[in-house]
Every structure is written in C-alpha cells, then in structure tokens.
Amino acid sequence: MKKRVIAGLLALLMLLAALPGALGASDTAVTRTTLKLRKEPKSNAKVLETYKKGTEVTVLEMDGDWCKVRVGKRTGYMMAEYLDIPDDLEIPDKQEAAAGVTAPGRSDFRPEPGESLCDTAYLLDAGQEPVITGSSYQSENVFIDITADRKFNSDVYVADIYVRSLDSFRRGLANKWKNGTAKIAKIAEAHHAILAMTSDSAENLDMGWVIMNGETLRHTKNRKRDLCVLYTNGEMAVIPAAELVHEDIAALAEAGEIWQTFLFGPSLLDKDGKAFKEIKSSIGIQNPRSVIGYYEPGHYCFVQVDGRRTPSQVEPGKKNKGMTILELSQYMESLGCKAAYNLDGGQSSVMFFGGKIHSTPQNGSRRLGDVVLIAEPGD
C-alpha cells in the first residue's frame, strides 16, 4: 500500500512538472543594474524611485520596450532590456492587445529603440552645436526651415520639420488643462519651444478626445469633428467624424499608441493626399489659418496663413485676405502632404520662432490655451 502511495505521488509530480509554468512559475524579474522606476513608459518621464542592481520586481505587462512593474507598493515602468526576465514568464503585451483594433492611417512600422524617425541627413552629428538663423534651426535632434510664400492674396509661412523622436513634437499648455490662457511668447518660453503655433483650442469644446504628449485629458465622443491622430510610431492620420470608432481610440490610447490628438478640423486632404472639391464647414470663408501637415514619420510641417487685412510682409503694400477652406486644401496638396488638418484660426492664428512672432496675426493674436510646438527632447 505504502509503495502505491509513493508511486502515485511520484507520478503526480512528474505530471505537474510537464505542465508549463506549473511548478516554479514566477512573475518576478531582477534588475541588472541600478535602474529608475518611471511614471510613464518613456525616458523623460518622472522618476518615482531608483533601485539597486539585484532588486526583485513584479512584472505586470509589456509596453513596447518597457515593462510595467510593481516594487513593493510602487507601480511604474522600467526598460525591459535592463531586467533579467525568466524565459518561461508569460507577460501580457499591451501593444499586442491593441493589435486587432482598427487604427486608420497607421501601419505596422515600429522604429527600433534609439532609431531616428526621420532621415538623419537633415540632422547634425551627435555633439555638434545647433546652427540657428532667422528662419532655420538645425541640431542633432531637430531640423526646421521656414519659408515665406504669397498665395491666394495671403502671406504663407511653411515650417518644414524633421525630428529624430516624437519627444520633440509636443503640445504646451498655458497653465493646467482648461485653466488659463497666455500669449504665445509666454507659452513658448515656458515649454522651451524652438517653434510654436496655434493649436486646436480643444479646451473650448465640450466633447471629443484630447490626448496631449501621450496623456489622455478627455475621452468623450464628438461625432461632428474629424479627429487628427499622431501615433507613437510617428505616423499621422485624420479620421473623419463619420468613421470614428470611440472604442478603438480608447483601446489605442490605453495601449499607449497615440501621442497627440487634435480636435478642430476639418481634414484638408482625402486618403490619397488630394484636395477636396467640397468641404462642408462653418468656417469656409477667407480667414487666417494654422495647419499641421504630414509627409512621413518624423517629417511634418506647420503652415501659417495671414489674413483679415493685415499688412503683407512678403509683398509690402498689399493686404492679407486669408484663405478659404478649399483654397487651403489646394495649398496643402501642392506641398505634397499625405495628410493635413486645420487648427484654430482667425485672430488666434499665429506662428512663433526664434523668440518672436514670425507671422502677422490680427491685433497681435489673442491669448491661447495651448500651442503645438517643436523643442529639443527633454527640454
């Protein structure tokens, strides 16, 4: 009888050992070096705590190149490459969970860690000092070149932009979300902006998605406005209001797949990058305009159109009329953009570069709640 019991126990142990993870399964990893625990899965996120080499952490999920972990009572993110993770550890992948979600305009492109989004031919070599002129800026992380044009009886300023990473493509608030306004110079200075332009003024709208610098500030539906989305892989697309699936945006936001959203509109180009022949909009008449254009990951443009009879700086003696929304659509196609999105305009419309206003806004521009900006990463 005793031999049968022992044999049975041995058989049971062998069966359990054959089951993956049944014995010795652990959700614990160990830090390979001194490692920072960050609030968000990005290198410039707030540091919650620093841990010594050999610290045990509980791995909760993967998020790209980061692991969401728990250390004692603290939860945050650590770079996966600096953790010793058991081979048999099954970790939920946040990005894989969103893989089946529809993401209009986004491909499977994923830059490698440290890989530049843009063509590095436009950037300086590491360690070189930035080269700055009255209309351009070039560093190892950012390239900006602003040209002035005269189209549709309006001065147009086009900032051609290349960025190594999206850490340089940011939004900047005047104060806290929905809490205050300021002149563009003050906002730009507070956020160390090299270039800044009027954004979408989403704080003045009651509904719609607002994601700034990867943080979701509002997650309500807006069925009337096209939504511009800048994904974390550098691709940008405009989702027509009629095609917007609220649940898909929620899943992508939760997975950390969206870096920025813009909520003003309308979209200025169709899915093939062509101008629209008709745009239903209440803001279709001649006006000053601010626009974001997209070419490819890491390559964008900010476009500023002057209007409302401000004096032309391109052709002195003439006045700026501003563009209609259809003229603006045609102009963005002429630039070769794949996608383009209209932001807040009128008296709010203004471009700022090199520590001063670079356009001719009506009455010097009004106070703004937020801007879209280009800065050195980490500034």
The predicted structure's pLDDT at residue 335: 98
The predicted structure's pLDDT at residue 289: 97
The predicted structure's pLDDT at residue 2: 52
Asked if CATH classification 3.40.50.300 holds for the domain at 25-94, the reply, yes or no, is no
Sequence-distant (≥ 6) Cβ neighbours of residue 29 within 8 angstroms: 56, 57, 59, 67, 69, 83, 84, 85, 86, 89
**pTM to 2 decimal places:** 0.77
The amino acid occupying position 84 is: D
The predicted structure's pLDDT at residue 189: 97
The predicted structure's pLDDT at residue 4: 57
Which residues of the chain are in CATH 2.30.30.40 domains?
25-94
Q: Mean pLDDT per 10-residue run, the chain (379 residues)?
A: 54 49 61 87 82 91 83 87 81 62 83 90 96 98 97 98 97 92 96 97 92 95 94 96 92 93 97 95 94 98 97 97 98 98 96 96 94 94
| One-letter-per-residue 3-state SS of the chain | CHHHHHHHHHHHHHHHHHCCCCCCCCCEEEECCCEEEECCCCCCCCEEEEECCCCEEEEEEEECCEEEEEECCEEEEEEHHHEECCCCCCCCEHHHHCCCCCCCCCCCCCCCCCCCCCCHHHCCCCCCCCEECCCEEECCCEEEEEEEEEECCEEEEEEEEEECCHHHEEEEECCECCECCECHHHHHHHCCCCEEEECCCHHHCCCCCEEECCEEEECCCCCCCCEEEEECCCCEEEECHHHCCHHHHHHHHHCCCEEEEECCCCECECCCCCECCCCCCCCCCCECEEEEEEEECCEEEEEEECCCCEECCCCCCCEECCECHHHHHHHHHHCCCCEEEECCCHHHCCEEECCEECCCCHHHCCCECEEEEECCCCC
Burial code of 140-165, b = ≥16 C-beta within 10 A, e = fewer? bbbbbbbeeeeebbbbbbbbbbbbbb
